[in-house]
Amino acid sequence: MKKFRQVLQILLGSVLIYTGIQHLTSSRQEFQAQVPSWTPFSPDFIVLASGIVEIILGLALVSLQRRREVGIATALFFVAIFPGNISQFVNGIDAFGLNSDRARAIRLLFQPLLVLWALWSTTALPEGSLRKILLLSRETFSRNKFAAFVGFLTGGVGTRFLEDGNLLITSVLTLVSTTTTLLIWVRLKKLKNSYKN
More confident residue, 189 or 54: 54
- Looking at beta carbons, which pairs linking 160-163 to residues 24 or more positions away fall under 8 Å? 162/101, 163/92, 163/100, 163/101
* pLDDT of the residue at 163: 53
The contacts of residue 113 (CB under 8 Å, 6+ apart) are none
Tell me how crowded residue 26 is: count the other CB atoms within 10 A of its CB. 9
Instruction: Give the residue, 84 or 102, on which the prediction is more confident.
Output: 84
Nearest to 13 by CA among 48, 54, 53: 54
Binning pLDDT at 50, 70 and 90, where does residue 181 land? confident
pTM value is 0.66
pLDDT in tens, 20-47: 999 899 888 888 878 887 788 888 899 9
Q: What percent of the chain has pLDDT over 70?
A: 85
Q: How many CA atoms lie within 13 A of 97 on its CB side?
A: 2
Q: From its phi and psi, is residue 157 left (phi > 0), alpha (psi between -120 and 50) or beta?
A: alpha
Quote the DSSP letter at residue 164.
Answer: T
